[in-house]
Structure 1
Amino acid sequence: MIVVMKSTSSDADVQHVLSFLQNHGLSGHLSQGVERTVIGVLGAVGPSGAPGSLGGINPSIGEALEGLPNVEDVVRVSKPYKLASREFHPEDTIVEVPSACVEGGIVRIGGKEVVMMAGPCTVETEKQLMTTAAAVRKEGAVILRGGAFKPSTSPYGFRGLGEEGLKLLAKARDEFGMAIITEVMTPSDVAMVCEYADILQIGTRNMQNYMLLDEVGRTRKPVVIKRGMSATFEEWLLAAEYILSQGNRNVILCERGIRTFEKATRNTMDISAFPLLKRLSHLPVLSDPSQGTGRRDIVGPLSLASVAAGADALLVEVHPNPDEALKDGAQSITIPQFRELMPQLHAVAGAIGRSVITK
C-alpha cells in the first residue's frame, strides 16, 4: 500500500507515519515529489504465504493509517512491485551520474536529454579501449561502456581481464572525462567494482541473482539492470524492486532483447518495452540494441527506433575492428558507423521534443 500525505503535512507528520509502520513490523519508503509526499509500505505476506487484499498487510493497519494526522489517502497497490511502480512515484525518477566531460559534471538519465553510452563489449587491450573511448567521446558519447568481467555461454570464451580491465577503464575516464559503466557478476566483487565504476551493470543472466541484487542495492551507485532473456515485465520490475528495497533509488532498466523462436537475430528487440514501462514505472529506461539484435547492420535503426519509442539512453557496442574482437564482434559497430549514427540520433530526438547531451 501507499500512504499519501496532505500538502500541508510536516516532517513530524511524516515521521509519525514511519514510526507507526516500524512499530507494526513494517517498513516505509519515502518519496518526496514536487506536489506531494508518499510513503510506500512494505510488509511480509501472511502465515499462509498468500498475499492478502493489501499485499499481505493486515487491513486494519490501512484503516489505522488513514486516521493518522495529515494522511490524505491510503492507496492499495495492486502490483507486486511497490517501489518500482508509477503509483508509488508518479514523477519520473532521474538518475544522476558524475561525468566530467559535460557542463556541470553531472549526466541526468531520465529527463528530456537522451544519453549515449558507448564503447567496446569487452576491454581487451589498452590500445583497443583508448582508441574506442577517444572516438566515441569525439562524437558525443558521455558514458563509456566496457566489460572487465564477461559472462560467456561457453566456458572457453573470453571472460574479461578482471581488475586489470577495471584499471584500464579508470584510466580512460581520467583521460576523456566520461563516466564508466561495467558489469558486476558476483556479490563478492561489488566492493571492488565500486572502486572503479560509476554505474554498475547487472547482466541478463544475473537479473534474478537475488543475492547480487541485494548487494548492489546496499550501495548508492547507479545500477543498470538488464531484462532477463526470457523475463516478463513483472519479473523484471520485481528484480528492480530488490535493489530499491535495499535503499538504492538509482536504478535504470535496460531492454536488451528477449529470446524468441526467431533465428535471424540473436535476440528479439522489444520496442514496446519503452512506452509500456513508462506507464508501469517511474524508472529510466535504457536500450541496448547491440545485445538486442546481435547484428551490427541493424544496431543503428534499432537505436533510432528505441529513442522514438521513449528510451532515455542507449548502450551501444563500438569496436575499432569488430571482426577481430575477442567477444561479440558481430554485434559491435565500427567507429565510422558510430560517427554516422550520432547525427541521426540528434534528428530523431529533436523530432520528439528531446535532445542528446554531448557536452
Structure 2
Amino acid sequence: MIIVLKPDATDEDIQKIVEKLKEFNYGAHISRGETRTVIGAVGEKRMEEKILIMEQLEVFPFVEKVIPILTSYKLVLKEIKPDGTKIKINDIVIGGKQIIVMAGPCAVESREQLRETAKFVKEKGAKILRGGAYKPRTSPYSFQGLGVEGLKLLKEVKEEFNIPVITEIMDPRDLEIALDYIDIIQIGARNMQNFSLLKEVGKVKKPVLLKRGPSATLEEFLFAAEYILLGGNSEVILCERGIRTFSDFSRNTLDLSIVPALKEKTHLPVFVDPSHGTGSYKLVPSMAKAAIACGADGLIIEVHPNPEKALSDGPQSLNFQAFDNLMQELRNIASAIGRDL
C-alpha cells in the first residue's frame, strides 16, 4: 500500500507512520516529492489484514489518503513519486525537462579513440560518455573488452573533459572496483534477470541504467527494477533496447510502445537505445527521433571515429558527421514537444 501524507506533515509524523508499519511487519520506503511525502509499505499481507491496517493509518490527521496496491511490484509505481524520479549527476538532471543523450563507443579500445570521441560528442551536446570496459559477446572469440584498463581510461577521459561516464558491469565481483571509476552503472539486457547482480547494485549509491531483456515483458522489466529499489538504490533508469521477434531486417525490434506504457506506470526515467535496438547505423537516426517523440527521457547511442574499424558493433555505430546531424535534428524534435536537449 501507499500512504500519501498531507503537505504540512513533519518528520515526526513520518516517523509515526514508519513505527506503525513496523508493528505490522511492514518495511517503509520514504519518497519526498516537491509538495508531498509518500511512504510505500513493503510487505505481504492478506487483503483482510490490509484493510484493517489501512483503516488504522487513515485515522492519523496528517495522512491524506492510503492507496492499496494490487500489483506485486510496489516501489517502481508512479504513485510512489507522482512527480517522477529526477537523478542528478553534477549539473545534469535525468528525468527532467531536458532530454539527456549518452554517446560513445560500444567498447573502449584505446586512449586516443576514447579521447577523440569524448571531445566530439560533448561538443555536439551529449551529456554523458558511454564506453564498454567489459563486453558480453555472443561468441567467446570476440573482443571481450579491456577490463580494468578500460575503466582507468574512462576515468582519465572523464576528468580531462569533465563528462560523466557509464559502463556495463556484468559480474558482482567487478562492481566494487568499477565504483571508483564510473558515474553510472549499466546492467545489460543479458543480465536483466541476474538477480544476484541486481541485489548488489541495489546496495550502492550510484545511478543504474537497467536495460530490458530481449524477451522480457513490461512486468518482468519492472520486477527487475524493483529488486534494485528494494535494496535501497532509488536512482534507476529504465532502457528499452529492442526485443527479439520474427523480424530479420534488423538486429532487434525496437519496442517504442513500451516507452509511454512505462511512463504511465512508473516514476523512473525511461531511455531508449536505438543502436542495439536496430543494429544498423542507417536505422539509428530515425528510431532515435521517434524515441524522443514518444516520450523518452534520453538516448544512449553508439558513436565511433571509424565505425568500420571498431572492435565491437561497428555496423550500428554512427560516425562523427552522422552524430552531429542527428543531434541537430533531435533539438528540433525536443523543441516541438516542449523539451530541451
TM-score range, shorter chain: over 0.9
Aligned to 2:238: 253
Residue by residue, what CA displacement relative to the aligned partner does 1:296-343 show, whole Å, maximum 9, x if unpaired? Answer: 101011111101111111100011111111111111111111111111
1:319 maps to which of 288, 304, 307: 304
Q: Is the CA contact 1:40–1:83 (under 8 Å) kept in the aligned structure 2?
A: yes
SS in 2 for 1:355: coil
Q: Counterparts of 1:53 and 1:295 in 2: how far apart (Å)?
A: 50
1:131 lines up with 2:136 in the alignment: no
AA in 1 matched with 2:26: L
Return the alpha-carbon distance in structure 2 between the equivalents of residues 270 and 92 of structure 1. Answer: 22
- CA offsets, 1:59-81, max 9 Å, x none? 43233222344223221012222
Matched position secondary structure for 1:208: coil
CA displacement at 1:9 relative to structure 2: 2.4
Out of 322, 338, 341, the residue aligned to residue 337 of structure 1 is 322
What residue in structure 1 maps to residue 52 of structure 2? 60
Q: Which residue of 1 aligns with 2:249?
A: 264
Aligned-partner residue type, residue 76 of structure 2: A
Is 1:354 aligned to 2:328, yes or no?
A: no
C-alpha contact 1:84 1:240 (8 A) present in aligned 2: yes
Q: What code does the residue aligned with 2:281 have?
A: R
Deviations 1:117-155 (A, max 9, x none): 100000111121112112212211121000000111111
In structure 1, the gaps of 5 or more residues are 47-51, 99-105
Of stretches 148-157 and 65-74 in structure 1, the one that deviates more from structure 2 is 65-74
Counterpart of 1:37 in structure 2: which amino acid? Answer: T
Q: Distance in 1 between matches of 2:59 and 2:173?
A: 45
Aligned counterpart, 1:200: 185
Following the alignment from structure 2 to structure 1, what is the Cα–Cα distance between the partners of residues 22 and 135? 41
Aligned residues of 1:97 and 1:108 also touching (Cα < 8 A): yes
Q: Of 75, 85, 89, which residue of structure 2 is paired with 1:83?
A: 75
Contact kept, 8 Å, 1:95 with 1:109, in 2: the verdict is yes
Aligned to 1:95: 87
CA distance in 1, matches of 2:142, 2:23: 52
Moved >4 Å (runs of 4+):
none
* 1:1-359 pair list within 5 angstroms: 1-44=1-44, 52-53=46-47, 58-98=50-90, 106-356=91-341
One-letter code aligned to 1:8: D
Residue by residue, what CA displacement relative to the aligned partner does 1:96-128 show, whole Å, maximum 9, x if unpaired? 112xxxxxxx11011111111100000111121
Distance in 2, matches of 1:142 and 1:41, equals 36
Letter in 2 for 1:20: K
CA–CA distance in 2 between the matches of 1:342 and 1:79?
Answer: 39
* Alignment check: 8 A CA contact 1:122 1:148 kept: yes
Between stretches 293-302 and 81-90, larger displacement belongs to: 81-90
Rounded to whole Å, the distance in 2 between the matches of 1:282 and 1:63 is 27
Aligned mates of 2:292, 2:304 — CA distance in 1: 22
Post-superposition offset of 1:58: 4.5
Percent identity of equivalent pairs: 50
Greater Cα shift, 289-298 or 26-35: 26-35
SS of the counterpart of 2:12? helix
Q: Secondary structure at the match of 2:80?
A: coil
| Partners of 1:22 and 1:205 in 2: CA distance | 37
d(CA) in 2 for partners of 1:349, 1:219: 33
